């Protein structure tokens, strides 16, 4: 097994993730919840109409694993997030909004943007799914695999539930591959080996 980041390059950049033309001040973001607090908030509000759980990741990341009941913005790239929020902010006011992403980075700006739209009760999972799964190796409320940005591609929990589905035949499948891309948008897609042939 080789190093997870063999071509690691460190450089200073203006920002790690971009919301595009509409930006938000991360210092005005949501309340940070520990994995235990996030788990408890989902448990306490299970099925409640006053809870909004938002997956701040892209569609293909969500496809292989997510928290039960999460709303997906259906975005290819993070800069599409503000448009999603603009369409839904009015219905979120007065509700408890919980947000999560892979490692917590995208939630810094995402939660700040949601708050800037007049939604007051906004919290985010500190350390993202990565830290949550360290505390809940059986997956807790998270089902499937967590997409990661290294050679592993996805990290599974002790719970082997497959939440992904082949886009062609709908069979349970959750193996993303750089060789299986949408011919239109060039995004990763779930296509099982039988359908790939």
- Residues above pLDDT 70, as percent of the chain: 82
What is the DSSP pairing of strand 122-125 with strand 31-33?
parallel
Two tokens, residue 144: 């499937």
Which of the four pLDDT bands, split at 50, 70 and 90, describes residue 177? Answer: low
CA dihedral over 52, 79, 128, 121, signed as positive or negative:
negative
- Entry field: residues in the chain: 197
Q: What is the rounded (10 degree) CA torsion for 57, 61, 65, 68?
A: 30
Does the pTM surpass 0.85? The reply is: no
Which of the four pLDDT bands, split at 50, 70 and 90, describes residue 36? Answer: very high
Q: What is the mean pLDDT of residues 33-47?
A: 90
Is the distance from CB of 175 to CB of 183 less than 8 angstroms?
Answer: no
How far apart CA 55 and CA 67 sit, in angstroms, is: 8
Tell me which residue of 96, 152, 155 sits closest to 128, measured CA to CA: 155
Active site residues: 101
Mean pLDDT of the chain: 83
The residue assigned the tokens 């939660």 is 111
How far apart CA 85 and CA 40 sit, in angstroms, is: 25
> Would the pLDDT of 21 be above 60?
no
**Sequence-ordered alpha helix ranges (H) in 48-166:** 59-64, 81-92, 105-116, 128-135
> Would the pLDDT of 116 be above 90?
yes
The residue assigned the tokens 């089902």 is 143
């Amino acid at each position: 097994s080789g190093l997870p980041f063999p071509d690691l390059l460190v450089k200073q950049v203006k920002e790690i993730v971009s919301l595009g033309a509409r930006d938000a001040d991360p210092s005005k973001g949501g309340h940070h919840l520990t994995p235990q607090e996030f788990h408890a908030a989902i448990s306490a509000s299970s099925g409640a109409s006053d809870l909004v759980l938002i997956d701040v990741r892209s569609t293909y990341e969500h496809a292989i694993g997510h928290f039960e009941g999460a709303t997906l913005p259906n975005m290819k790239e993070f800069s599409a997030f503000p448009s999603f929020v603009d369409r839904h902010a009015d219905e979120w006011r007065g509700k408890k909004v919980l947000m999560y992403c892979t490692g917590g980075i995208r939630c810094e700006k995402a939660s700040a943007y949601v708050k800037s739209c007049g939604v007051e009760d906004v919290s985010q999972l500190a350390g993202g799914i990565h830290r949550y799964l360290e505390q809940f190796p059986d997956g807790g409320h998270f089902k499937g695999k967590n997409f990661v940005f290294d050679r592993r591609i996805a990290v599974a929990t002790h719970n082997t539930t497959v939440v992904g589905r082949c886009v062609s035949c709908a069979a349970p499948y959750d193996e993303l591959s750089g060789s299986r891309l949408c011919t239109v948008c060039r995004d990763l897609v779930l296509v099982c080996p039988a359908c790939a042939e």
